[in-house]
Amino acid sequence: MIRTIQDIAKQTAYETGREELSQRVLDTMAKIPRHEFVPDSQKPCAYDNRPLSIGHGQTISQPYIVALMTDLLDLELTDIVLEIGTGSGYQAAILSKLVKQVYTIEIIEALGKEAQPRFQILDYQNIEVKIGDGYLGWQEHAPYDAIIVTAAGMDIPPPLVSQLKNGGRLIIPVGERFQVQSLMLIEKNLEGQLQSRKVLPVAFVPLTRGRETLNDQI
């Protein structure tokens, strides 16, 4: 899986600006048991480089995209990170080995509640899960060194930008629902000014808001 990821990184370098993904990120991914995060039906394909269904109409991204997004955050062991879209917990588990503390928000209660015991069983001790609308961020623990959004927003949520530390990075797919979106990297410099660039075309499940998720469940 890791070899495949590096091969794709080389092929997409002209768009992403990264010829190779960092060894630190790839070594970490190699140690995380992806099969523990997916339903039984998906376990045989757990190490294929493709998205997997995690139930509730949601998917876990293909490992190359997980690796790229993680790499682009340039994480350090002292960082405090916010993830929007806990899903299976796979991305949060990777982050937890690369930084000091991970806060992750999931809007579908059942998914958030399934991820939590997974973190306990696998002994990831620096992950805190909250059920809620991640569009609003998690003010209590802000500011964050890095924020990763693993569902596609129609815009870049202003609360997330304001909860990003000066010198911090935010990665988010932005675009229309169920169409090709742009993976965007937003950097806030030490003076608080923003710079953003499009990294790659991607296809993510949509970032939903409270009311519509409720309607989906009815």
Q: Is 61 a catalytic residue?
A: yes
Report if residue 146 touches ligand SAH, rule: CB under 6 A: no
90 or 103, CB closer to ligand SAH? 90
Number of residues that bind ligand SAH (CB under 6 A): 24
Report if residue 90 touches ligand SAH, rule: CB under 6 A: yes
Report if residue 52 touches ligand SAH, rule: CB under 6 A: no
Give the number of C-alpha atoms closer than 13 A to the C-alpha of residue 43, restricted to the C-beta side.
Answer: 6
Report if residue 72 touches ligand SAH, rule: CB under 6 A: no
Range 144-180 burial, b when 16+ CB lie within 10 A, else e: bbbbbbbbbbeeebeebbebbbeebbbbbbbbeeeee
Catalytic residue among 22, 53, 61, 162: 61
Report if residue 145 touches ligand SAH, rule: CB under 6 A: no
Report if residue 106 touches ligand SAH, rule: CB under 6 A: yes
Rule CB under 6 A: choose which of 16, 28, 42, 58 binds ligand SAH. 58
Enumerate the active-site residues: 61
Binding-site ranges for ligand SAH (CB under 6 A)? 54, 58-60, 84-85, 87-88, 90-91, 105-108, 111, 133-135, 150-151, 205, 207-209
